[in-house]
Amino acid sequence: MTPAQSLTMSKTIGIIIFPDVEELDFVGPWEVFTRVGPTECAVFTVAQTTGPIRCSKGLRVLPDNTFDNAPKIDVLIVPGGVGARTTQLENPAMLDFLRLRCASASITMSVCTGAFLLEKIGLLHGRRATTHWWRIDALRSLPGVTVENERWVDDGNIVTAAGVSAGIDASLYLIGRLWDKPLAARIQKDMEYFPEPPSSS
């Protein structure tokens, strides 16, 4: 398939949100994928209920869909945050939704500690993965996961990104993989996403 042909294929990007989700973990991928264009890429959020979601830093968001009415998802994005490593790990509705939709999605991508939700449902067993640097050792301590200290790790239909802003990197990478690299480069330029920290000291 040529890049021109692949650009005509519309894809759906479903981004899970939940109480105490880290804002940039899901807003970063949202920003990247919505720049592909509405005819090639439909992006929406999914939560357990229709009520407002209070994120980790206080941002409030209204989900587009619920677990019960979410449409088909080609790429499922699972962000992290406090909720991903506490309440959601013990939330049967979340875990059941992940099991169901990860099985039907072409690609599942976690950001930051969203990797722990994938591990909880057994999706990282025998896989390579990464997460936020602060939680690398915790993920490495779990059986069956080969943890790599990288910005993102591509293991076929499972892609995991490190902390927070790494979700932007992984999303750009996936655009290059699913559509083409020139499109990813254009989006990166449009976003002026060329990180240059003011100081490394």
Angstrom CA distances, 96 to 32, 48, 78, stand at 28, 11, 14
Q: Determine, yes or no, domain membership for 199.
A: no
- Give yes or no: 112 in active site: yes
Split into its structural domains, the chain has a count of: 1
| Bridging pattern class, strands 53-54 and 60-61 | antiparallel
Q: Which residue range forms the structural domain that includes residue 109?
A: 3-190
CATH number of residue 80's parent domain: 3.40.50.880
Q: Determine, yes or no, domain membership for 166.
A: yes
pLDDT of residue 201: 52
Q: Determine, yes or no, domain membership for 196.
A: no
Q: Determine, yes or no, domain membership for 200.
A: no
Which mean pLDDT values do the consecutive 10-residue runs of the chain (201 residues) have?
49 98 98 96 97 98 98 98 97 98 98 98 98 97 96 98 97 97 97 81 52
CA nearest 169: which of 45, 31, 2?
31
For the CA atoms of the chain, what is the radius of gyration? 16
Alpha carbon 12 to chain centroid distance?
A: 13
Q: Do 110 and 80 form a contact (C-beta atoms < 8 A)?
A: yes
Out of 41, 55, 102, 112, the active site residue is 112
Q: Determine, yes or no, domain membership for 13.
A: yes
Q: Determine, yes or no, domain membership for 195.
A: no
pLDDT of residue 4: 37
| 94-138: pLDDT as tens digits | 999 999 999 999 999 999 999 999 999 999 999 999 999 999 999
Q: Determine, yes or no, domain membership for 201.
A: no
Q: Determine, yes or no, domain membership for 49.
A: yes
